[in-house]
Amino acid sequence: MFENERENLGKVVYDYSYWNEAAEALTGKTDSLYFEESLDGDYLLNTFHINQVIVYNADGKVFISFANGEQNLTEIPLYTQPALQALVEKATKVNYKSPTPVTSFINISGQLHFIAASAIVPSIESDTVSLGKLYGVLVMTRPVNKPLLYKWESQFHLYSLSVQPKGLPLKNGFTAFKVMNPLGEHIADIVWKPDLPGKRYLGEIMPMTSLIIVFLAIVSVLFCLHFNRYIRLTLFAAKELENNRDELQKLAHYDTVTALPNRLLGMDRLEQAIKASSRYQAMTAVLFIDLDGFKNVNDTFGHDIGDDLLLNVAQRLTSCIREGIDTVSRLGGDEFTIILANLQNKTDAIAVAEKILKLLQEKISIRGSDIMISASIGISVSRMNSITAEEMIKQADMAMYKAKLSGKNQYFFYEEP
């Protein structure tokens, strides 16, 4: 559960840092307010419980920072923490063409936090930024607080879950997870008492053992009654565990806003589609879709309306594909992908792209507000070659960016340079 929370925070950092606008904002060559527009406000705090955001430039100096949704105008002690500096340094030692976020734990004013950092690099080459070059590092933190601990207790059947300072003796029957910071230092322990249904059961029946000799018949009946009760409890616990496992599986592979497959599941289905196209001598196409003007919707109507809009778009996109053959997934933010499998001609992908553009231009009514949007689409096609899923996504992303630069509300195919 700890690793899962860290990975989730790492995905959020990655989504905001692996982006051309983030890199351009650090060059000083444009008037971009990417960080102020994307990180200021309570969206990250309310949605992902992120309370600290720090942006470093390529020289390792703080470019801008936010606390609880508001911009920091003065230096804070966190900036000089050796543990934070160590994590930032690790984030710079990655492949800048395909960066990987780094995650850990850190103490901030006595409060344990998850922390994640990712290199700020462009996803494609442009006139203002260069692919493969580092422009800065983005850092985000999330507190390990009581609401999160209560959630874990309920989800994983734990008791008395808490964070305690390092070095304190462990209470009898408790289990501990050692929390290490980026420097490898032991900074705290997360402790809990695991659920032991078998031990509880023995505690219930042991007092009866003294009656077995004298009242054998009575004890036999009582034993059967308690055993049946234990079986029912065990079956109930097994069912609850299975339900929780299914829920965790759903959270790991599906987007919570749109119920579409997320990036992880979408990439897996793309890999399967590429393999199938090789076997059946067919084509696989990826449509990379970015909504035009979605940020204005969020700023004008609020994030609740924005989430409803994403759900509506997801339903419209799903109506454009073949059920059971093609896949719509949400990468994050206002970005979607469509995987078209077993195609015979590029015109099949064009027909779907044109249908999407037409459908998304239709007025969307949400909670009494009429909203108009459009989309820019990039298309990458694979036909019996060794291209990977990652490469297809990157190609489609580049083609989408070209569609954006050419006026939006259109599609472009990826062309080999």
Report d(CA 411, CA 146) in Å as an integer.
47
- CATH 3.40.50.300 for domain 263-413, yes or no, is no
Report d(CA 273, CA 251) in Å as an integer.
23
CA distances from 109 to 65, 78, 81, 143 (A): 17, 8, 11, 11
pLDDT band at 173 (very low <50, low <70, confident <90, very high): confident
Most confident residue range from 61-65, 167-171, 196-200? 61-65
Report d(CA 360, CA 408) in Å as an integer.
13
Q: What is the pLDDT of residue 42?
A: 85
- CATH 3.30.450.20 for domain 2-143, yes or no, is yes
What's the rounded mean pLDDT across residues 232-260?
77
Task: State in Å, rounded, how far the first CA of the chain is from the last one.
Answer: 44
Report d(CA 35, CA 33) in Å as an integer.
6
Lookup: tokens for 16: 């905001």
pLDDT digits (tens, 9 = 90+) for 16-39: 999 888 888 898 777 668 888 888
Residues in the chain: 417
Tokens 């994983």 belong to which residue?
Answer: 156
Report d(CA 349, CA 355) in Å as an integer.
10
Tokens 């001598």 belong to which residue?
Answer: 281
Report d(CA 271, CA 120) in Å as an integer.
27
Helices (H), 286-345: 294-301, 303-318
pLDDT digits (tens, 9 = 90+) for 300-336: 999 999 999 999 999 999 999 999 899 999 998 999 9
Rounded to the nearest angstrom, the gap between the alpha carbon of residue 316 and the centroid of all alpha carbons in its chain is 23
What's the rounded mean pLDDT across residues 2-10?
85
**Host H or E run for residue 286:** strand 283-292
Phi/psi for 101 (5° steps) reads -70, 150
pLDDT band at 387 (very low <50, low <70, confident <90, very high): confident
Q: What is the pLDDT of residue 6?
A: 85
Report d(CA 94, CA 119) in Å as an integer.
8
Which residues lie closer than 8 Å to 185 by C-beta, 6 or more apart?
A: 83
As separate numbers, helices (DSSP H) first and strands (DSSP E) second, the chain gives 14, 16
Which residues lie closer than 8 Å to 106 by C-beta, 6 or more apart?
A: 81, 83, 84, 87, 112, 113, 115, 141, 181, 182, 187
Number of other residues whose CB lies within 10 A of the CB of residue 299: 12
Q: What is the pTM of this model?
A: 0.48
Given a cut of 80, whether residue 214 has pLDDT beyond it is no
Report d(CA 51, CA 59) in Å as an integer.
24
Supply the DSSP symbol for 168: P
Provide the b/e sequence for 15-37 (b: ≥16 CB within 10 Å).
bbbbbbbbbbbbeeeeebebbee
pLDDT band at 202 (very low <50, low <70, confident <90, very high): low
Given a cut of 60, whether residue 204 has pLDDT beyond it is no
Residue 396 near residue 288, CB atoms below 8 Å: yes
- Is the model more confident about 208 or about 301? 301
284: three-class secondary structure by DSSP: strand
pLDDT digits (tens, 9 = 90+) for 272-287: 988 888 888 889 999 9
